[in-house]
Structure 1
Amino acid sequence: MVKKLRGMRDLRHIDKIAYLRPSKRFYEHGYTHYQPGAELISLVRPMLEGRAEPWKVHRSDVWTHILPANRTESNKLPIQGWKIHVSAIAANCRNLLVKVAALALENNIQFKFANDTETLKMMTSKRWSRGGSGKFITLYPPTDEKFREIIEKAYAVLKDDIGSYILSDRRYKDCRCLYYRYGGITSVTKLLYTSEKQPVIFSPDGEQIPDHRTPYFETPPWTSDPFPEEQPDHAEFTLNNGRYLVKEALGFSNTGGVYLSTETASGRQVVIKEARPYIELGEDDMDAVARLVQEEKILRLLGGTGLAPEIYDSFRDWENYYVVEEYFPAPDIRLVMLESSPLVDTRPSIAASEKFYNIYKKAFSSALRGMARIHDQGIVIGDVSPKNILVDRDSMTVRFIDLEGAFRPGIDEPQRLHTPEFRIPSKGRELNSTYDDDTFAIGVIMMYAIFPIAAMQFLREDLFTAVLPRLVADVGWANTPALAIITQLVDNKITCSQAADLLEQSEYTIEQPIKRRPLEGDMPMEISDQMARFITSNYRLDKIFTLFPVDPFGQRDNPSSFGFGATGIIHTLSTCGYDIPLPALERQRNELAALKLEEIPPGFLVGTSGIAWCCLLAGDRETAERLLKQANHSPLTHAHHSLYFGMAGIGMANLAAYLRLKDGRYLDAAVNLAMTLEKQSKENERGVYWEEDGQVWIGFGYGQSGVALFLLRLSQVTGEEKWRAMGKKAVLYDMSWGRELEPGNLTVAANPEDTSTYEHYIEEGSAGIVKVAIRYGLWGSELDGFMGDIDRKYASFAGVIFGLAGFADVLIDAYRYSNDKKYLTMADSSLQGIIDLYLLKFDDGYATPGENLFRITCDYATGVAGVMRTFHRRANPAEDEFCLDELDQLSA
C-alpha cells in the first residue's frame, strides 16, 4: 500500500534531520560526509585472499559489496529474484559477518553488508524506513535453486543467533536473524516525472512494476512464497490472546506502532504502545523494548497525578512488548495554539489576541506546573516537544505523553532521546538530558506556540533576544509577562513554578496585533545586494558538495535543476544584474555538458525544460536546444499535466524558445502539448480540470492554474482564442474551490477532498491562483477574496514557492497589472515579515533559512535566490520572465 498524498508538495519532502550533522549552516547529507570505520571490512578482506577466483570490495552509500573481480556470464546476477537478509545487533554483528561471509565465499555467492557498526545502528534506528530496517547482510543467490540451498546452509550456522525482525521479509524457519524476500537484485530504476528514481522489477511479460520496500512481506503476482505456511486470519487484529481489539493505528515508526484499541471485556478505549526488540540500539545495547519498559516504570510512578496517561496493562505478544495506556482524546498543544493564533490571520484584532492570550495562559500554566511536579518526583522528561503535550479543550489542562526519553538521574539508565530544537544546544555539553533541558524546552515551546520558528535557533543565536520580542509585539503581547517568562526559562533563570506564578498573577494589557511598518526606501535593494554577496561567497568546487547549498530534494535528484539547483541560482543572479564567479560558472557549464539526459525528467521545476529555458535566457543556444529536445521527446513528456512537473511547464519553455529563436518546431511542440492537454481534460459545472489517477490537484504548481497560464500564453502567440477560453475555465475551476476561512478572504486546499488543510502559497494555494487570474484580467470581488488571503506578514517559511517571498512576488505582479500601489504596500508587509523573522546577517552577506528552518538553502524555490529575486523586484518591479510577461507588453 502506498500512502495517499495530501498534496503534490509532499513528493518533494525529505527528512531533513539526516542533513544536519556535517554543516552548521547548510543542509548536507550526513552519510555522504561520514567516514565508516574499518572494523567490519577488516574481517572480510583476509577471507578474500588466495581464492581461486579473485573477489573485490566496492563501497556504495551505506553498503560494502563483495563481488567477483572479473564479471562473466557465469557469475552475472539476475535482475531480480529471491534475496537472503541477515539482521544483527552491535554485539554479534562481527561474529555473524564472519560466518555469513565464509558461507558466501565458499559457495561463490555475492553479498553486501553495512559499512560499520555505527551504520548498522543507524539502519535500526527509529527514523530509518520501516521497509529497509534491520538488513545487515544481503546475499544474492543467482537462481531459485541456489537460494533454497544457501538459505538452508545459512540456517545451519545462524539458527541460534539473534537480530531485529525485518518487516519487509519472511523469517526462515525459527531463526531470529535470517529472512528472505523477492525483489530487485541488479539495480534497475524507473525515472519519475518528479525526478525520483523508483526501483522496479519486471513481470513475466516485461512490464515494469514498482519494487516497493513495504514494511510487510508480499510477493509479486507471478511468484509465491517458496516456503509457504498457513497464515492467521487478520480480519481482526487482536493482542494478548484477544483481550484487546486494535481499531486504528495512530502512528508507526521503526521501533513499533501506537494503536487505538478496545479492551474487549470492558469496551474501554485504550492506547497500546508497541516496542520491537533490537531496534533503536543505544548505549549498552538498550533497545526499544528496554526503553518502553523504562517508560512504563516512569508512567507508573506518575500514576494518579493526572500529569501523564495511566497504565492499565503490559504484556508480551509474540516477540514484541506492549504497554496499555489511558486514552486521552485531546489535540496536542501546537494544534490548539495554531487554531487560535491571530498571527495566522490577515487582519488580527485585539479581541482575537485577548482570546488567544487567555488560552495560552491557561494551557501553559498547566504545563509549567505539571513539569514542576514531575521534576519534584525526581524525573527528567527528556524529550519535551509540542506534539508530546496534549491539551483538554474544556479545562485547558495538559498531559505529557510519549515519555520514552524520561528517567530518574542516578537511578535509571540516562536517556538521550530528544527533539533537536527543544533541547539546549549540544556544543560542549553532556549528552544525557537534564532538568535544565526540560525547562529550556518548555520555554521554547511557549515561543513556538506564538509562531513555530524554534528550529531557527540553530542559525541565529539571537532568536530569543531579537526575533522573540518582535513575535510578542506582533501578537499584541508587549505588555504581558510572556517575553520575560520565555527568555528566563530558556536561560534557566527561573523555575517552572516561578514561571507559572508570573503567568497567572501578572497584570497585562493587550495591544493591536501586527502594526504595519513601511519599508525604508533603499532597503529592498540593499537586501538583494547582500543576498547576492552571500550566494556568490558560498559556491563550492569540491565535488562532494553541490555547486551551491540547496534543498535536500535538489541534492538527491538533480542539483542542476532550475527550482532546486544551480541553474536557477545562476539565472537569478544574472537576471538581477549580479556577477557570477567564473569558477562557479565553469563548474556549472561542465556539469550541464555532462548531464545524462536519460536520467533527468523533462519538467520545468526539476528537469530539462527549466534548465533549457535558463540557458536560452543566458544566450547558450546550443545547450538550450539540446535540453529542450530531450524534454520534448522524453518518455515522460506527457506524464503529467502540471506547470511544475508536466506538459504546461514544458509548453511554456517551448513558447519561450519560439519567441527567441523564431523556430517553428518549438511552437509546434507547444501546440501539440496543448492538444494533448485538451484531450486529457475534463469539464463540469466548475470548469475545466485534469486528473492524475483519479486525483485532482488545485493551484499553480500542480493544478489547473498553472496549465491556464500556458494556455493563455499559447493563445497570445498563436492568436487562437480557444486556448484562452479553455485556460479561463481552468483557472475558474481552481477559484471555485475557494473557501472563506476568514471573513472576506478565500483560500483553497491542495485537493478538493481535503477539508482540513488550506494553503496560501504559489506552489499550492491562493497566491498561485492569483498569479494567473490577474493575467487573465479576472479582477473583481472573488479575486479580491484570494488577494486578501495573501496579505500576510507571517508564514512558515521565507521562500518564493511556499513562503512569504511568494506573497510579495504575486502582489508585485498585481501592482504591475493594475498600477495600484496598494499592492506594493501589501507586498511590503510580507517582505517585512522576512526581515523581522528570517533575515540572517553574516559577515559574507544576508541569507534566509530554507524549508524546515534548520539550515540555509540558496536555491530559487526554497532559498536565498528566490527571496533575493523578490526583494530585487520590489526595488525594480520587472516582468516575471517565467510567466512570459513580455507577451502582455507586446499586446499592450
Structure 2
Amino acid sequence: MPGIQETQLYCLADRRYYETPARLPDEATRYPLDAAPPPAGWRRAAAGLWTSLLPEDREPAEQGWKIHVSTVPDEAAATLRDTARICLRHGVPFKFLRSEQALLLMSGKYMARSGAGKFLTLYPQDETVFLTLVDELSRALDGRRGPYILSDLRIGDAPVYVRYGAFVARWCRDEEGERVPALRHPSGELVPDVRGVVFRVPEWVTVPEALRPHLAARAAAGDATFPYTVTEALQFSNAGGIYLARHRDTGRQVVLREARPHCGLDAVGDDAVLRLHREHRALTALAGLDCVPEVYGVRTVWEHHFLIEEHIEGNTLIEEIITRFALVRGAGSPAELAPYVAWVDSVTAGLTRALAAVHARGLRFGDLHPSNVIVRPDGGVVLIDFEYATALDDQDTPPAGAPGLQAPPGTPGAEADAYALWATWLTMLMPLMEMAGHDRAKAVTLERWARTRYGLTPDAGPHRPAAVRAVSGPHSREHEIAALLDGPAPDWRELRARLLAGIHAGATPERRDRLFPGDPQAFATGGTDLAHGAAGVLYALHRVGAPVPDAWTDWLAAAARRRDPAAPGGLFDGLPGTAVVLAGLGRPADGREILERALAAAPPNTSADLFTGRAGVALAALRLARTGGSAPDPELLESAVRTAWSLDCLVRGEPAGGLRAPDSAGLLRGLSGAALLHLELHALTGEDWLLKAARTALEREAGHCVTMPDGTVQVKDGRRHLLYLDQGSGGFALVAQAYLARHEAPGLAALLPGVRQGCVLEFVREPGLFTGRAGLVATAGQLGGQDRTDASVLASVRNLSWHLLADGDRLLVPGARLRRCSADLATGAAGLLLALHFLSGAGTDGPGERSPSAGLLELLTLG
C-alpha cells in the first residue's frame, strides 16, 4: 500500500477518485515556458507535474552529475527564466514544475521530504559542462531563496544543489528483491541509485575538485553550542522532524520540533518556520496550563529552527484508540463495552476542559485530532502541535485538521474547535471519520450506529454540530443505502445494479493510462493489472455475468502490449494476470502472447508469493495451459511444475533458485499461494509429492497464526494481527480448507473456526476485497459451509453502510486509506461486486457459465 505521502500526491487533482498528479487543474498558474513554443532545435515533453525541454539532436546522457535548483513561489518565475536561459545557451536538457500551483503542492507539509524544494533539474552531458553550469547558476541566482535539498550538496549561497545520479530510467533489483532505479557501475552492472535524504556519492565516482570547498562547508555546518543531544526521531515531514532529546548538562528530556525554511507550505502558503514561531507565541500565551506543554524557547541551528518544549509522558490518542478499541477485541455485551465507553467519556471531558482553557486565553486550537493529543499515564490529556493556534476571531488563518474532522470553511474559531471535538469523540467510537470527508452525512450514520451499539444515552458526548445536523434529514442518501442493506436479507439485485452503474460511470476508455479509477498503484502498471487495473474490473464483470464491452477488452489488450516487458510483474500486479483475463474474455491468442512476454523477462522475480511472485506466475501459466478444455499445454504445464518444485525446496529450506520466502502469511503475500499451486497441480497430475508440498507450505503458514484472547485466529506480523485475504489468516484458511477437502490434517482444521470467527468481527476499517470487509465476509461465507449467509455474515454485510457512498443511482466504494473512491478489484467496487455475488449464491448467465456453487478461492484466483 502506498504511504501517506504518496497517497496525498494522488489526491491533488480530483476530489472523488485517486488521480495522477498530471491532471491537476492548474492551467491558470502555468509558467509561460510551459506553454510557449519551444525554441528552435528543442522539443517539449511532459511527465506528471513536470515539463521537460530537450535538444532535438541528441538524447540525455545515461547518468552523471545533475543539478537541482530550488525556489520559493514569489521568485519561481524569475528563477525559471534565468535558469532556462543558461540551459538553452549550453544545450543542456532540463525539466521544471509546470505551474505555481504544482510548486505549492510539491512543497506541501505532507509531501516526501526527499523531493522537497526541487523546482528544476538539469542534466549536463559531461563534467566540464556541469562545472560551467554550476558556476554560472550560482552567480546568476545568488541571493535567491529556496528550500535546502537534503539529498544534495549546496553550492555557495545560491539555491543550487548537485548530486550524482541517473538521468534516464534504468532499473535493477535491490538486496530485498525490489525493483529500484539504477546506476550503471563501471563494470557494466546495474546497481541501485540510492535516493534518500543524505548526500552520498557512488564509490566509483570522484568528487570534482571544484566541489570540495562546498563539501567542506557542509561538513562544518551546525552549532556546536547547541546543548541538546537527539536520542530518537519521532516523525519526519517535508516541514522538518520531531525529535526526543536530552540536555547535555541537566539531562532533562525535551521534544525538539524542527522547521525548515521555505518548506512544508500549507494551504495559504505559510512555511514551517512561520508556523513554528506562531506555535511558540501560542505556547507562551498558554503558559501554566496543565493541558499544554511547557515551552523552553526557540533555537536556530545552522538554518533550521527548533522549538524546544516539554516532553509529555504518554501515548497519542490515536495510539490509545488502536490499543484499546473494544470492537476489534471481541467486546460484545454492554458490560464488556462499558470500560471503553467510560474511557471515551473521560478523554472527551478532558478535551472539553482543555479547549475551554485555551479559549479563555483568547486563542483557538485550530488542529484538534487524535494525533495531536497526548494521553498521560494518569488519563489526563495534553494538546500538542499549536501551529494553527491563533486568536479566536482570526479569519485569515484557516484551521487545519485531519480528513473528515474539519469544520466547514468559514466556521468561527471556538465553533471550529467544538466541531473537531465532536468529530474526535466520534473517532474514538468509530475510527472511520475519513468517510465524512466524502459526505458529511456519513458522520451521522456512524454516530447513530455507535450510539446504538455502545448503548449511549441521547445526551452522551458533545453536541452534534449544526453543520452535521443540516445533512441528517430522513430523505438523505444515507437512508437509501440503509434500505439496500437492512431487512432479513440485503437487496442483492439492487446492490449489484448500483455497483455496476458506479463502475460504468467511472470508465474512461479515451484515456491511455487507465480504464477505471482505482488505487494509485495502478498508474505504475499502466492501468492494466488484476489488483488495481482494468484486468481486475473486467474479470469481476465477467464472473458476475455482466456485459463486458468489446472496446474495454480492446483497451486492455492494447495497454498490456504497451507495458514494459522488462517489468512484467506477477499474477495480480502484472502481465500474467492480464493474460489469463484476456483468455477468459475470449481472447486466448492475446492471452498467450502477453504471458509469453512475461515469461521471457529476465531476471525473473525472486518473490515466491501469489501477488507478484513466482507462485502467481506459475498459476497463470497453469490457467492458460488449461484454456479451451482440451489436454493441458505441455510447455506451460511443465513450467508450472518446475516452479512448484522450486517453491517446495524453498519451504523445506533447500536451494530454490534464488527464491525468497515471504516474511508473513496469507493467500497473496505468503506461502498459501504456493500451497494452492501445489494443490491444483496435484489435481491435474495426481503426483503425491505435490499434496505433501501443499501441506508443508500450509503448516509453515500456520506457524504465523496465533489465537487471540477473543478466540479468533490471526496472522501475527510484528505488532499487527491480520485476518485479510492479502496478508492474514483469512486467505490462509481458504487454501487450508481446499487441502482438507483432499486429506485430513487435524492441526489445520482446528484453526478454521477461529479464523471464521475473526472474519465477522464488527469493525473493519476498509470495505475492499483484499484488505477489507468484502474479503473477510466472503471468507466467512466460504468457511461456513452450505450456509454462506448466516446471521453473522448478514450483520457484517449490513455494516457496509459505513462505507458505501450513494451518487444518484450509483454506489461508489472508498479505496485504500478511504481518501478517494476506487473501482478496482483489490480495494474498490469490482472486489465488492465479486464478494456480494459469491455471498448471494448467484450464477452467471454470460459466456463461460459457471456453477452458482463456485468456491471463493476459485473466484479469487481466476479458476
Give the TM-score, by structure 1 length.
0.86
User: Structure 2 CA distance, aligned partners of 1:388 and 1:275?
Assistant: 17
Q: What is the deviation of 1:732?
A: 1.4
Cα-to-partner distance string for 1:769-824 (whole Å, 9 max, x where unaligned): 21111111146333323332223232001111101111122122223xx44x3874
Which residue of the partner structure matches residue 15 of structure 1? 6
Q: Which of 447, 452, 455 is residue 434 of structure 2 equivalent to?
A: 455
Q: Which of 622, 632, 636 is residue 666 of structure 1 equivalent to?
A: 636
Which residue of the partner structure matches residue 758 of structure 1? 721
Call closer, same or farther: CA 1:824–1:144 in 2, change over 3 Å.
same
Q: Which of 591, 615, 620 is residue 648 of structure 1 equivalent to?
A: 615
User: Structure 2 CA distance, aligned partners of 1:477 and 1:611?
Assistant: 49
Checking the alignment, whether the CA contact within 8 Å between 2:109 and 2:266 is kept in structure 1 is no
SS at match of 1:660: coil
Overall identity of the aligned pairs, in %: 24
Q: Which of 767, 775, 789 is residue 758 of structure 2 equivalent to?
A: 789
Call closer, same or farther: CA 1:769–1:490 in 2, change over 3 Å.
farther
User: Structure 1 CA distance, aligned partners of 2:398 and 2:237?
Assistant: 18
Cα-to-partner distance string for 1:52-91 (whole Å, 9 max, x where unaligned): x6333333322232222x314xxx4310000122211122
For the pair 1:434 / 2:413, whether they are aligned, the reply is: yes
For the pair 1:555 / 2:555, whether they are aligned, the reply is: no
For the pair 1:349 / 2:333, whether they are aligned, the reply is: yes
User: Structure 2 CA distance, aligned partners of 1:579 and 1:223?
Assistant: 58
SS at match of 2:427: helix
Q: Partner letter of residue 47 of structure 2?
A: S
Checking the alignment, whether the CA contact within 8 Å between 1:423 and 1:441 is kept in structure 2 is yes
SS at match of 1:676: helix
User: Structure 1 CA distance, aligned partners of 2:143 and 2:227?
Assistant: 32
Q: Which of 292, 309, 317 is residue 308 of structure 1 equivalent to?
A: 292
Call closer, same or farther: CA 1:324–1:600 in 2, change over 3 Å.
same
SS at match of 1:313: strand
Q: What is the deviation of 1:202?
A: 0.8
Which residue of the partner structure matches residue 55 of structure 1? 42
User: Structure 1 CA distance, aligned partners of 2:394 and 2:720?
Assistant: 45
For the pair 1:160 / 2:160, whether they are aligned, the reply is: no
Which of 411-420 and 839-848 deviates more?
Answer: 411-420
Checking the alignment, whether the CA contact within 8 Å between 1:276 and 1:321 is kept in structure 2 is yes
For the pair 1:487 / 2:464, whether they are aligned, the reply is: yes
SS at match of 2:336: helix
Q: Partner letter of residue 730 of structure 2?
A: A
Q: What is the deviation of 1:461?
A: 3.7
Which residue of the partner structure matches residue 314 of structure 2? 330
Q: What is the deviation of 1:691?
A: 9.6
Cα-to-partner distance string for 1:238-280 (whole Å, 9 max, x where unaligned): 9661410111111111111111000111111110011111113
User: Structure 2 CA distance, aligned partners of 1:805 and 1:566?
Assistant: 19
Checking the alignment, whether the CA contact within 8 Å between 2:715 and 2:728 is kept in structure 1 is yes
User: Structure 2 CA distance, aligned partners of 1:416 and 1:240?
Assistant: 37
Q: What is the deviation of 1:11?
A: 5.9
User: Structure 1 CA distance, aligned partners of 2:283 and 2:533?
Assistant: 48
User: Structure 2 CA distance, aligned partners of 1:473 and 1:44?
Assistant: 57
Which residue of the partner structure matches residue 187 of structure 1? 169
Which residue of the partner structure matches residue 873 of structure 1? 838
Which residue of the partner structure matches residue 343 of structure 2? 359
SS at match of 2:817: coil
Q: What is the deviation of 1:559?
A: 1.1
Call closer, same or farther: CA 1:43–1:78 in 2, change over 3 Å.
closer
User: Structure 1 CA distance, aligned partners of 2:673 and 2:312?
Assistant: 44
Call closer, same or farther: CA 1:603–1:535 in 2, change over 3 Å.
same
For the pair 1:744 / 2:711, whether they are aligned, the reply is: yes
Which residue of the partner structure matches residue 680 of structure 1? 650
Q: Which of 594, 617, 629 is residue 596 of structure 2 equivalent to?
A: 629
1:495-574 aligned at under 5 Å gives the runs 520-521=488-489, 523-543=491-511, 546-574=514-542
Which of 580-589 and 434-443 deviates more?
Answer: 580-589
Call closer, same or farther: CA 1:109–1:92 in 2, change over 3 Å.
same
SS at match of 2:837: helix
SS at match of 2:816: coil
SS at match of 1:598: coil
User: Structure 2 CA distance, aligned partners of 1:854 and 1:536?
Assistant: 21
User: Structure 2 CA distance, aligned partners of 1:190 and 1:45?
Assistant: 37
Which residue of the partner structure matches residue 497 of structure 1? none
Which residue of the partner structure matches residue 780 of structure 1? 749
SS at match of 2:397: coil
Q: Which of 777, 788, 798 is residue 832 of structure 1 equivalent to?
A: 798
Call closer, same or farther: CA 1:388–1:31 in 2, change over 3 Å.
farther
Q: What is the deviation of 1:464?
A: 3.0
Checking the alignment, whether the CA contact within 8 Å between 2:296 and 2:308 is kept in structure 1 is yes
Checking the alignment, whether the CA contact within 8 Å between 1:84 and 1:178 is kept in structure 2 is yes
Give the TM-score, by structure 2 length.
0.89
Call closer, same or farther: CA 1:717–1:482 in 2, change over 3 Å.
farther
Q: In structure 2, list runs of 5 or more residues that go unmatched.
A: 471-484, 843-851
Which residue of the partner structure matches residue 587 of structure 2? 620
Checking the alignment, whether the CA contact within 8 Å between 2:318 and 2:370 is kept in structure 1 is yes
Q: Partner letter of residue 609 of structure 1?
A: P
Q: How many equivalent residue pairs?
A: 829
Call closer, same or farther: CA 1:121–1:362 in 2, change over 3 Å.
same
User: Structure 1 CA distance, aligned partners of 2:587 and 2:455?
Assistant: 55
Q: Partner letter of residue 767 of structure 1?
A: G
Cα-to-partner distance string for 1:661-713 (whole Å, 9 max, x where unaligned): 421112111011112223433449xxx99997686222221112221111121
User: Structure 1 CA distance, aligned partners of 2:862 and 2:554?
Assistant: 35
User: Structure 2 CA distance, aligned partners of 1:194 and 1:222?
Assistant: 23
Cα-to-partner distance string for 1:356-411 (whole Å, 9 max, x where unaligned): 111111111001111122122221222221100111132x2111111112212567
User: Structure 2 CA distance, aligned partners of 1:598 and 1:14?
Assistant: 29
Checking the alignment, whether the CA contact within 8 Å between 1:86 and 1:137 is kept in structure 2 is yes
Which residue of the partner structure matches residue 25 of structure 1? 16
Checking the alignment, whether the CA contact within 8 Å between 2:223 and 2:302 is kept in structure 1 is no
Q: Which of 808, 818, 821 is residue 777 of structure 2 equivalent to?
A: 808
Q: What is the deviation of 1:655?
A: 1.9
User: Structure 2 CA distance, aligned partners of 1:577 and 1:382?
Assistant: 51
Q: In structure 1, list runs of 5 or more residues that go unmatched.
A: 1-9, 494-516
1:413-432 aligned at under 5 Å gives the runs 414-425=397-408, 429-430=409-410
User: Structure 2 CA distance, aligned partners of 1:681 and 1:702?
Assistant: 15
Which residue of the partner structure matches residue 732 of structure 1? 699
